[in-house]
Chain A
Amino acid sequence: MMKIVVCVKQVPDTETRIRVAPEGNAILEQDVSWIVSPYDEFAIEEALRIKEAKGGEVVLVSLGPDRVQSALRTGLAMGADSAVHVKDPAFGSADTLVTARGLAAAIRTLAPFDLVLTGQQGVGGDNSQVPGLLAELLDLPQVTVAVKLEIEDGRAVVEREIEGAHETWETSLPAVISAQKGLNEPRYASLKGIMAAKKKPIAVRDAAGLGLDAAALAPKTKVRALELPPSRPPAKMIEGDPETQARELIRLLHEEAKVI
């Protein structure tokens, strides 16, 4: 039997065209369609597969405003058993460390557990920080960017990706493991799953209830401004037959761009 906690982040759909809000340091949320961060889907799927193989339960944890409940419902519809929603206006200015403190405090209330799974990054913020922050705050070992995970005899054997190689890691449990694309193929929620999810419990916790004081909630980094990338000059189009185009491109890359 395994009790597995999965952290879920709700993010703008990757198709979203980003617009900057009038305050100038956040995105305009109007018209954004929200999804479960794709890497977190791999984490949920892996948790469900472990539960199916070994028995146990899967608990989702998400931090954010009311809208994140729809992300939790998506995970519950995939097959998770229950969820915790960490919600407090104090998290409005949360940076990665404050977010991790909120998640860690919620995860501690779920002890004892065997495994904490997360995505290897939340798309959007693209920080790749929460897994490592959580592991340290919870005093657990970590293995990040997992593309293969096997649980045996109270240990996990994990394959992770590094530049130009794969590494095999072994860790004691409980541990924090972050999921990379390639770990599995996430399932779609069935109609039955969607119906069942409506009755599954979502516990709401606020900062005070989790024992987080003002110091724990004070962000250490602040986004001052958000801008769209500078637009690029129009492309120089290379005309002619394929032979001419090919030779002209090589010439331009050498003589004009000086990149080869």
Chain B
Amino acid sequence: MAAIVTFAEQREGKLRRPSLETVSEARRLADRLGATVVTVVVGPGAAALAAELASFGADRVHAFEDASTYATETCAGALAAVIAQTTPTAVLVPFTAMGKDLAPRVAARVGAGLVSDCMALTLEDGRLVARRPVYAGKAYATVAWEGEPQMATLRPNVFALGTPDGSRKADVVAGAVEGAPRARVTATHAAEAGNVELTEAQVIVSGGRGLKGPEHFHLVSALGEALGAAVGASRAVVDAGWVEHQMQVGQTGKTVSPTLYIACGISGAIQHLAGMSSSKYIVAINKDPDAPIFKVANYGIVGDVFEVLPRLTEAAKAYFASKG
């Protein structure tokens, strides 16, 4: 029976959402192909995650429990071994920091074509066709594979999470990793608490030069906090040193696809638009009615961020308070 292999990422015994999105997509494709979904998960407690993976559609889970933290070579060995055993038609990996690190290594090992950062996968005569952004979303490419396995990494936040079905069960196969990795993690330092990862956030509030100085950036953070959003920034303010570069949205920063993106005092340079224009809803707040950001916005407010942002924060707080 044909198989689709996925790689699931866990941190401290918890599966990360992009991995569940990937299993969900594998399940949808497998149902149309009459294929099984085989998921690889690595690290202590891996086998215990099989039930959750099964509820999203995994038929078989290969659990490699004997590896302590993520190491590229260890995980590549585990995934490549399962690919060798199952000769899958497709291999799907989340396009996360871990997936970006892992998938190319495995693709080179098994000689597979790898298409990165897919936003949609369709089937044509039983073969995958991918749609993916290039030039940070200034254009979209339709890509097809030669031969198998067809390997793809999937953009977080784009593929729908399936409805978990607790009655589904998966076979659990214990695997063992081979050899010691030459490169390994020696320490992990969590970033400041509260700042949600941009690429996985449902709501993002971003600030730009319209804030006039780093001392005013708290107006953006406050709105972000009121909305439970991740906070981003334009390249201009990152390069000016107002905020850390991890917060940069755009062509040389992060490309994001949240449900809601609120751009505050951002004029909308082409590099910034490239990084956020695939957001579902875009709100632009800017003094200049001709700012390019309004061309991609669903809702626009022509106004001064210093006047609008505090009131918007209050209105958001009042809304959530009324909702309880």
Contacts and interface: CB of A to CB of B under 8 A. Distances in A.
Interface in A14-58: 14-18, 20, 25, 27, 38-39
Contacts of A133: 104-105, 107-108
A125 B133 CA distance: 9
A141 B311 CA distance: 52
The residue in B115, B199, B301 that gathers the most chain A C-beta atoms within 10 A of its C-beta is: B301
A136 B108 contact: yes
Interface stretch (B41-49, B52-60, B164-172, B249-257): B249-257
A167 B191 CA distance: 10
A245 B189 contact: no
Interface in A100-148: 100, 123-133, 135-137, 140-145
B233 to A, nearest CB: 13
B40 interface: no
A219 B190 contact: no
A124 B103 contact: no
Contacts of B251: 14, 123
A137 to B, nearest CB: 5
Given A96-B104, A133-B108, A142-B105, A181 B144 contact: no
Interface residues of B, number: 96
B299 A220 contact: no
Interface in B117-172: 117, 129, 133-147
B175 interface: no
Contacts of A14: 251-252, 270-271, 274
Contact of A224 (B142, B196, B244): B142
A208 interface: no
A12 interface: yes
B248 interface: yes
Contact of B136 (A126, A171, A242, A243): A126
B302 interface: yes
The residue in A38, A160, A246, A247 that gathers the most chain B C-beta atoms within 10 A of its C-beta is: A246
A227 B113 contact: no
B106 to A, nearest CB: 8
A162 interface: yes
B37 interface: no
B301 A238 contact: yes
Nearest to A175: B183
Interface stretch (B26-34, B93-101, B210-218): B93-101
B183 A141 contact: yes
Contact of B245 (A181, A224, A235): A181
A81 interface: no
Given A143-B183, A236-B298, A129 B314 contact: no
B72 A141 contact: yes
Q: Which 5 pairs of residues, A with B, have the shortest CB-CB distance?
A: A220-B113, A132-B104, A171-B183, A141-B182, A136-B108
19 contacts: A14-B251, A126-B133, A129-B103, A132-B100, A132-B103, A133-B108, A137-B108, A142-B72, A144-B100, A145-B101, A162-B98, A163-B96, A164-B190, A164-B195, A169-B183, A182-B245, A219-B113, A232-B297, A235-B297
Interface of B: 72-73, 76, 96-98, 100-109, 111-117, 129, 133-147, 181-191, 195-197, 199-200, 203, 227, 244-246, 248, 251-253, 255, 259-260, 270-271, 274, 277-278, 280-284, 294-304, 307-308, 311-312, 314-316, 319
